[in-house]
Amino acid sequence: MKDQTLPNLICVGAQKAGSSSLYKLLKSHPEIYLSDKKEIHYFNVEEEYKKGLDYYASFFKDNKNKKNIGECTPDYLQYLFVPKRILKDLGKIKILIILRNPVDRSYSQFNFHKMLNLEKKQTDFETCLKAEKENFEINERIEWYKPAFYKSKSLYYNQVKRYYDTFGKENVHIIIFEEMVKDRNNPNLKSTCKFLSVSENHTFTNDHSNPTVMNFESNYVKSLRKIKNMASKILPKSIINPIKDYTIKKVYKSPDKLNLELKKELFNTYFSKDVEKLEELTQLDLSIWK
């Protein structure tokens, strides 16, 4: 099946690397249509994939004939089988990958899991990294949160290479999170527009979306989530979102920042060699991470 409602663009990840911010930035461009549901998980969840392409196309039926039609599911980057599935069903489409300092990405994911009470074995980030055996070929999805793969998901070289090998380097564009948030109209986003063959004169409007926060009254927070879910069924997003933002500020706090010396040590111990290989593969200057 080939259909005009199917995507010609997918942002495939990485998880906790700024994909929510990128999604909102791209969605604000008049020549780009992204599905209202940010993470569809069609290509990495068997139950979704079995529903077929007609089901998948239903997420894009209101695309209004825009130049680029797409979605953003950051879990797509990590799974070995996903690139071939996308190629089989959609052909050689445009692929966006957003990457973040590997230590920061791993730490953000670790805190995210703690926030949701999913990280129960370890309370120390450094211990989690040390205990994890690297997996460069994640080929099975059990649950989205397990195994956590804090370290493996931040070893980008093999993940990016899979998309280069499958779609061709010319069809894969990499965005660096730190450059994107530094200046939302920086050359990094201008080059994204050029890659997508859309106007580079668009003024992007957005701030950092979906930051990881830590709850300190878990039972209270669970009650608030239930209320929010109920309210979402009867109230529009224009009312729900400001209330949610206000509640986050009052009930949640930001996680502690990593000590800079520890961050440097973790980078050199677990990620520096992979980043060097990634630089050679992509020809990008990743000194901002070092």
**Quick check: 78 pLDDT over 60?**
yes
Ramachandran sector of residue 172 (left: φ over 0; alpha: ψ -120 to 50; beta: rest): beta
Mean pLDDT of 111-136: 86
**Quick check: 230 pLDDT over 80?**
no
Mean pLDDT of 23-29: 92
Do 155 and 227 fall into the same domain? no
Query: At 109, is the secondary structure helix, strand, or coil?
Result: helix
Query: At 278, is the secondary structure helix, strand, or coil?
Result: helix
The mean pLDDT value of the chain amounts to 86
Do 247 and 109 fall into the same domain? no
Domain contains 223: yes
Domain contains 258: no
Domain contains 33: yes
Query: At 154, is the secondary structure helix, strand, or coil?
Result: helix
Domain contains 260: no
Do 25 and 142 fall into the same domain? yes
Do 122 and 237 fall into the same domain? no
**Quick check: 167 pLDDT over 60?**
yes
Do 225 and 196 fall into the same domain? no
Domain contains 3: no
Do 117 and 238 fall into the same domain? no
Supply the CATH number for residue 83's domain.
3.40.50.300
Which of 80-84, 133-137, 243-247 comes out lowest in average pLDDT? 243-247
Do 228 and 117 fall into the same domain? no
Residues whose CB falls within 8 Å of the CB of residue 62, separated by 6 or more in sequence, listed in order? 33
Cα 124 from Cα 135, distance rounded (Å): 21
Q: Which residue has the tokens 């890659």?
A: 195
Per the structure, the complete domain to which residue 231 belongs is given by 214-253
Do 58 and 124 fall into the same domain? yes
Task: Domain count for the chain, please give it.
Answer: 2
**Quick check: 74 pLDDT over 50?**
yes
- Answer whether 124's CB lies under 8 Å from 38's CB: no
Domain contains 272: yes
Cα 93 from Cα 195, distance rounded (Å): 12
Among 116, 97, 217, 101, which residue's Cα sits nearest to residue 159? 97
Cα 199 from Cα 168, distance rounded (Å): 24
Domain contains 245: yes
Q: What is the pLDDT of residue 213?
A: 46
Do 226 and 121 fall into the same domain? no
Do 100 and 219 fall into the same domain? no
Do 230 and 277 fall into the same domain? no
Ramachandran sector of residue 128 (left: φ over 0; alpha: ψ -120 to 50; beta: rest): alpha
Do 128 and 228 fall into the same domain? no
Domain contains 4: no
Q: What is the pLDDT of residue 1?
A: 40
Mean pLDDT of 163-175: 98
